[in-house]
Structure 1
Amino acid sequence: MKTSKEIIAGPDETPQASAEPPARLRRWPRWLAGTVALLLAAVLLVAYVWQPPAVEGYRSPYLDRVHSQYADSPVARFHYTKTGQGAPVVLIAGGAQWRYSYRDTIPALAENHTVYAVDLPSQGYTEVAEDFSYTIPAMADTIGTFMDAVGLKKASLVGHSWGGAWSLSFVERHPERVDKLVLMDSPGLNKEPASQTAAFELPVVGEVAVKLMRRPDFETSLRSAFAHQDRVTAEVIDETWAWLSRPERRAAFVELARGQDYAPLDQGLGRISASTLIVWGQDDHWLPASYAREYGERIPGAEVKVIPGAGHNVHEDDPAQVNPLLVKFLSP
């Protein structure tokens, strides 16, 4: 009679594991891989295929009150307004903003100046040619393109936020075309960009974030640029969200966020020859007021004015304090 032999592991031996894991464990990796693949496909679909609905049929109360004009060029069909008489001043709005942000600035400056408030590519109602590159140099070049289109050889520039960076780039490369320069809460130092735009700089994440943005999300972001919350009315929100909700405007914003290379601007600060005014909101939660002081130290002869109790959109947030500064500085 044969007896079975019991195999006892020695001190240096381990029992042999079963060649096949239990069925439950074999199914888990396949299930997990399938789920990850589906999620990845959904994210990529949102990022690169799906388009969110844009606001339809919005009639701008502001455009009903002003006289819009258009200037054609090979780069873009610029939407702008021309107000007042005197030495020319060109107003450049910030990212995800348009000439509407200067609604309280234009009347004050127009008393002594011809004020051109323009939408650059990605802004408002300017239509851009295909394959436009949303880099800082490209955006700066459109300032010169616009000036050529409306017959301006030289002008003073007022730029806010990203619009200030584009203005700074233009004056560094074309000093002969700029009389005076005003920078309001503008990046341009070789420092970290505002944390509020960090997500849009990431591949895929940026596309998803901007496409999932809705009016309440935009309102939250806009309010963070104001210290005086009563200034952020429903009209203020709708006037920008109406066009920013368009697919091509959302895509342009992502490209702008990824083109924030300020190192070249930083290197050229000491060569700026135009008279320069730096205006900053003391309660700016996007870019700290310490940037204003650094600009003042590095741009030859620059004046610095920090506005107490004002946020990032300083000229909208507190026009009563900002407008007199601009009028005085820009006066001949």
Structure 2
Amino acid sequence: MTTISPAAPAVRTATSPQRTLPRSALFIASVLALDGLCHAVWATGLTWPASDEHHLSLAVLGFATSFGPGVVLPLAALLWTAAGLVVARGWLGRDHRFGWLWQLATLAVTIGVATRAAFGVVWAVVGFGAMPTVFAWINALAYTPLCMVMAVCGWRLLGAGRAGRRVWGRAVAAVVPALLVCGTLTAAYGFPPKTQPYDPQRALGAVESRYVETPVARFHYLKEGSGTPVVLLSPGASWVNSWLPQLEALKATHTVYVVDLPGQGFTSLKDHDFAFTLDGMTGAVDSFLDAVGVKSAALAGNSWSGGWATAYAQRHPERVSSLMLLAPTVLDEPDPTSWEMLKLPVVGRALTNLTVGSRSMTESAVRALFVHRERAAPELVDGFWAAGTRPDNVRSMYELEAGLDWSVTERALPRTTQPTLVIWGRQDTVVPVAQARELGVRLPQAQVHVLDQCGHALTLDCPDQVDALMTGFLRARQQ
């Protein structure tokens, strides 16, 4: 008799669960690692695919800033670390004892790329505007779509794992970018700075405020003295008060005009189609000179207005007998990053509104222009702040930063043949003093003076030295 025994139970061996890396984690980590590699390559000094660091920055960010090793190497390390944490999130999961770490890192990455995607959509809808053309197209065709895909992948990865917790990461990843973009739009368009009441005559004392009507603007200006004309253009984001020491020094031998151009000081725009560009600003100089009957003059400017004076002399050499340029922005070089960011649509407008609307931030910005901080008195700050809150002036800050093409002025420097006085503060924190030497080389008839213990606001920070140089320069022209 055959006995049939029941089949022996299968022997089960303990095996580790097979792990696979989700495609979402692989995609995010690959993009981050590749981005980190690009930053590491740029740290070597290579700027491929751009021709130089300046144009690389414009293509990658939309504004100019440093791409030196001290900046890009930490970013490369950060990107590689983020890529590793995203891989850990996908491979080991959130139940690992360090799962909270890579879950948090994945959340941060998702918020970051979702925010960038949202701003990219806003910039594409607003239009290319003054953004560099290369950046505008790359933003629309590459950066924004890529960030959208990464945000979706991150959102899916955050939800993988225990269902009870997945909703929080996803909710934060969706809400925070929306809040950031909506907050920026609100700051840009919802709450313009309140115009501060101010009587410019109070600060000018015995010097009389004057106004002249033109089709372009109702120009606010000062006029003192007699003799050959000298025209002083108010520094950018400032007003005629900045030139009072030089007005006093020059009026004994010259008819001195100090004028607020459109978007500056207490001049009011009348031309609603006025463009804050080099063409617009030089056209405004021409309009003012015609209105006050000045056929030819010595022309001076500080910072932006030094650039406008140079551009005007290049376009109308017959109307400019000589130039006096104080730390002028005439070279096609990056501004400080805080100014460069004003070039970004919406973001620049929001940053301007927040800065201009705050007296404390205005005071901080003004004081940073001085070495002798005690000369940035409260009443001086009040004038800067009040002028800056005027609607045309608010708009001019971000539109001028985006619209002034200094490459045109730089290329024409060898053909700028007027005798030129260049003055710079060695401690200038806005326009690097190294540019003084460059102008001395490129301008055919330039004499350059660098003043120690002087900042960017030369006319007020070091008035005695500036007065002496300007009066001496003009005296030599008359001999």
TM over 0.5: yes
Tell me what 1:163 maps to: 305
Does structure 1 residue 231 correspond to structure 2 residue 372? no
User: Can you list the C-alpha shifts for 1:179-222, whole angstroms capped at 9, x where unaligned?
Assistant: 01011000111222234412322222222211112111111111
C-alpha contact (below 8 Å) 2:238/2:387 kept by paired residues: no
Tell me what 1:25 maps to: 166
User: Can you list the C-alpha shifts for 1:5-52, whole angstroms capped at 9, x where unaligned?
Assistant: 99x8999x96999x9972531464245313432332222111122223
Tell me what 1:146 maps to: 288
Shift, 1:301, TM fit:
2.0
Letter in 2 for 1:325: L
Q: What is the distance in 1 between the residues matched to 2:449 and 2:177?
A: 53
- 1:1-332 superposed matches below 5 A: 22-26=163-167, 28-56=169-197, 60-129=201-270, 130-213=272-355, 214-331=358-475, 332=478
C-alpha contact (below 8 Å) 2:262/2:281 kept by paired residues: yes
Q: What is the distance in 2 between the residues matched to 1:135 and 1:155?
A: 23
C-alpha contact (below 8 Å) 1:67/1:81 kept by paired residues: yes
Q: What is the distance in 2 between the residues matched to 1:68 and 1:239?
A: 14
C-alpha contact (below 8 Å) 2:268/2:392 kept by paired residues: no
User: Can you list the C-alpha shifts for 1:129-167, whole angstroms capped at 9, x where unaligned?
Assistant: 213211122111211110011111111101110000000
- Deviation larger for 131-140 or 51-60: 51-60
SS across alignment from 1:41: helix
C-alpha contact (below 8 Å) 1:47/1:208 kept by paired residues: yes
- Deviation larger for 172-181 or 313-322: 313-322
Letter in 2 for 1:205: V
Q: What is the distance in 2 between the residues matched to 1:226 and 1:234?
A: 14
Instruction: Answer 1 or 2: higher relative contact order, Cα 8 Å, separation at least 6.
Output: 1
Q: CA RMSD in A?
A: 2.6
- Deviation larger for 306-315 or 33-42: 33-42
- Deviation larger for 110-119 or 282-291: 282-291
Shift, 1:54, TM fit:
2.9
C-alpha contact (below 8 Å) 2:201/2:209 kept by paired residues: no
Q: What is the distance in 2 between the residues matched to 1:219 and 1:14?
A: 62
Q: So what's the TM-score if we normalise by structure 2?
A: 0.64
Q: What is the distance in 2 between the residues matched to 1:9 and 1:94?
A: 81
Q: What is the distance in 2 between the residues matched to 1:215 and 1:312?
A: 20
C-alpha contact (below 8 Å) 1:193/1:260 kept by paired residues: no
SS across alignment from 2:175: helix
SS across alignment from 1:291: helix
Q: What is the distance in 2 between the residues matched to 1:246 and 1:86?
A: 34
Letter in 2 for 1:96: A
**Residues matched between the structures, number:** 327
Q: What is the distance in 1 between the residues matched to 2:214 and 2:13?
A: 86
Letter in 1 for 2:368: S
User: Can you list the C-alpha shifts for 1:100-123, whole angstroms capped at 9, x where unaligned?
Assistant: 100111011101000010000111
SS across alignment from 2:294: coil
C-alpha contact (below 8 Å) 1:137/1:166 kept by paired residues: no
Q: In structure 2, do the counterparts of structure 1 residues 274 and 322 end up closer, same or farther at CA, with 3 Å as the change threshold? A: same
C-alpha contact (below 8 Å) 2:249/2:471 kept by paired residues: yes
C-alpha contact (below 8 Å) 1:160/1:186 kept by paired residues: yes
Identity of counterpart residues, as a percentage? 37
Q: In structure 2, do the counterparts of structure 1 residues 28 and 288 end up closer, same or farther at CA, with 3 Å as the change threshold? A: closer
SS across alignment from 1:90: strand
SS across alignment from 1:65: coil
